[in-house]
Amino acid sequence: MTETSAQRASDDHGDAGGRHAGDLLTVPGALDADGFKSLFRGHPGGVAVVTAEGPDGPVALTATSVASVSVDPPILIFSVSSLSSATPSILASDSIVVHLLDSADLSLAKLASTSGVDRFADRSAWTRLPTGEPLYHGVRAWTRCAIVSRLEAGGSTVIAAHALQGAANRGPEGEPPLVYHNRTWHALGDHSRID
């Protein structure tokens, strides 16, 4: 097998950092909470609002951790922080509604992420499903889910939920998706496409 000139150059000079294949890297020390937050501040997340019926009425929170993990059966996951006032009601619920948002739903994302406000004060903005869960009107898409497992993970709980029903009010060609990145809301659109 003939060695290429690119391979010879790589072997002779290493990579741009002066390292050679097989060299050991110096790894920084333990990652603290601030360092971990800094890593994920640059990692964008789609925005959703999770609602449930609690013992004292409906609750809602904004989540950027929602992800699809299985199609058959349809399973999604998300995490809730122990610091959220909505978390105890969501953890105690058997079912929830996950609202998947686009940029037209920014006001709902802000409402559900604001502490100390009544997220259900505007009765015209939401209704209850026949099964009792609160549903906000007009979001891009939503799914009613049965919670199937809960996993404590540090100061949060990861929830797996089985999607039972749902509807899309706007297709992917509609409003741009709502994304949270570096503590800021963004509308993901054609202007950000690179391929």
Q: Could you report the per-residue pLDDT of 126-185, keeping only the tens digit for each?
A: 999 999 999 999 999 999 999 999 999 999 999 999 999 999 998 777 789 999 988 899
pLDDT in tens, 107-128: 999 999 999 999 999 999 999 9
- Which pair of tokens denotes residue 76? 């999604």
Residue 57 class from Cβ within 10 Å (0-12 exposed, 13-18 middle, 19+ buried)?
exposed
Give the contacts of 188 (CB within 8 A, at least 6 positions apart): 44, 176, 177, 178, 179
Give the contacts of 170 (CB within 8 A, at least 6 positions apart): 102, 104, 140, 141
Identity (one letter) of the amino acid at 169?
N
pLDDT in tens, 15-41: 555 667 777 777 777 888 888 778 877
Strand ranges, E, within the chain? 45-46, 48-54, 57-63, 67-71, 74-81, 95-100, 126-128, 134-136, 141-153, 156-168, 178-181, 184-187
pLDDT at 16: 54
Residue 76 pLDDT > 70: yes
- Which pair of tokens denotes residue 51? 């609602």
Give residue 7's pLDDT band: very low, low, confident or very high (50, 70, 90): very low
Mean pLDDT in residue range 29-56: 86
pLDDT at 19: 64
Residue 4 pLDDT > 50: no
Domains and CATH numbers, the chain: 46-192 (2.30.110.10)
56-70, 74-88, 146-160, 178-192: range with lowest mean pLDDT = 178-192
pLDDT at 195: 83
Residue 42 pLDDT > 80: no
Give the contacts of 160 (CB within 8 A, at least 6 positions apart): 69, 75, 76, 77, 147, 148, 149, 150, 151
DSSP helix/strand/coil, 87 = helix
